[in-house]
């Protein structure tokens, strides 16, 4: 596994392609307010794609209600989500990003449910949900 992303664009290109809120989160590692995104309560079957590059990231059957206020998943699709160590804000956390374009998605915490024990705590803004199976 290499950390090199497949889709590379300049900062100016991303800025022109993404909404200001998505740019802030995906490219500047921002965070949306908890309980602010409608995907937090989304329960339909379907697939969650990267909002920046449309790569599939999660299926709805890996989503669960973590009570955190952010859409949460216990498992991404194979190879879809990359991880880096994030030492910002005086904490050591695992940062999650789209393996295809590098867009920041959220963080991964080791307090998720079975079978993985992982909580992929995602910004709904970084995701694009398509209902269906
Ligand atoms: Zn992406």
CA of 12 relative to ligand 1 center, distance in Å = 16
Domain boundaries defined on the chain? 11-131
What is the DSSP secondary structure assignment for residue 78, as one 8-state letter?
A: T
Catalytic residue among 50, 98, 101, 121: 121
CA of 51 relative to ligand 1 center, distance in Å = 7
Say how far apart CA 107 and CA 105 lie, in whole Å.
7
Look up the pTM and report it.
0.94
**Beta strands at 81-86 and 46-50: parallel, antiparallel or unpaired:** unpaired
CA of 78 relative to ligand 1 center, distance in Å = 14
- CATH architecture classification, 11-131: Beta Complex (2.170)
pLDDT of 72-125, one tens digit each? 999 999 999 999 999 998 999 999 999 999 999 999 999 999 999 999 999 999
Catalytic annotation present for 121: yes
């Amino acid at each position: 596994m290499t950390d090199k992303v497949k889709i590379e664009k300049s900062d100016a290109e991303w800025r022109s392609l993404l909404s200001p809120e998505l740019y802030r989160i995906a490219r500047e590692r921002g965070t949306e307010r908890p309980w602010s995104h409608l995907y937090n309560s989304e329960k339909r079957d379907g697939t969650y794609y990267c909002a920046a590059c449309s790569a599939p990231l999660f299926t709805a059957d890996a989503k669960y209600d973590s009570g955190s206020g952010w859409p949460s998943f216990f498992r991404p699709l194979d190879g879809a989500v990359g991880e880096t160590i994030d030492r910002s804000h005086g904490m050591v956390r695992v940062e999650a990003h789209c393996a295809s374009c590098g867009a920041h998605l959220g963080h991964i915490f080791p307090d998720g449910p079975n079978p993985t024990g992982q909580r992929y705590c995602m910004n709904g803004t970084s995701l694009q949900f398509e209902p269906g199976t």
